[in-house]
Amino acid sequence: MVERYHTELASLKGDVLAMGHLAQGMLHQSLEALKTRDAVVVGSIDRDKKRIADYDHDIEQKCLRLIALHQPMAKDLRMIAASMKVITNLYRIGRYGKDIAIVVPDLARAPHVGNLVSIPHMGDLVEGMIADTLIAFEHEDLTAISDIRDREVAVDALRYSVFRECLTDMMEDPKKIAQCTNYVMIARYLERCGDHACKIAEKVHYMVTGDRLEIR
């Protein structure tokens, strides 16, 4: 019975990581499609939306079953509770990836304004934050997310930088309004993904230490 319990715990962690890599992949695909103006990727990400929703449902059910059948305590209980919160944030990251992909066909019709302003750099920072929270979750080691607060501040600053640059471009050339409006919206999506990465980091910190931490 004990061996089965630990096998199920390991399976739960594996499922959360798989969902995390899917969410990260959806965001990465959408950003790559944005850079290359590849509208074909939208169909692929739309299919991934169903997969990530299935992960969200299945993992939640697995968590509830583990609690009901095994009455876990201490760190095991914290891991299960953290997993239930983490998957909500991962689901939102995946959906923001889909939301970015949705605007790619509109942006694919013309060359990008200002080489996509600061969006590629912003995307790299956010993807790194997500990847490191998954590493911390997998290894139960907070080293990878020790500077996540600083990275979150940098992402926020980049969002305002994108807004300012786009506002200037729109004032100088009204023909750029549609494109720049989409850039501002994408920057907002990326900022929210960074916020979700911070929330995951908070839950990982609680899982590992038992102490609550507020990053934002």
Q: Is 45 inside any structural domain?
A: yes
pTM for this predicted structure: 0.95
pLDDT in tens, 158-184: 999 999 999 999 999 999 999 999 999
> How far does the chain reach from its first CA to its final CA, in angstroms?
41
How confident is the model over 208-212, as a mean pLDDT?
A: 95
Average pLDDT value over all residues in the chain? 94
For residue 198, the enclosing domain spans 2-209
CB 206 within 8 A of CB 92: no
Q: Is the pLDDT of residue 216 over 80?
A: no
pLDDT band at 93 (very low <50, low <70, confident <90, very high): very high
- How many domains, in total, are found in the chain? 1
- Is residue 39 scored above 90 in pLDDT? no
Give CA–CA dist 146/144, Å, rounded: 6
CATH value at residue 195:
1.20.58.220
Q: CA 192 to CA 159: how far, in whole Å?
A: 10
Domain-embedded: residue 124: yes
In a domain, 214, yes or no: no
Residue 49 included in any domain: yes
Whether 215 is covered by a domain: the verdict is no
189-199 average pLDDT score: 98
Task: Please indicate, yes or no, if residue 67 is contained in any of the structural domains.
Answer: yes
Residue 216 lies in a domain: no
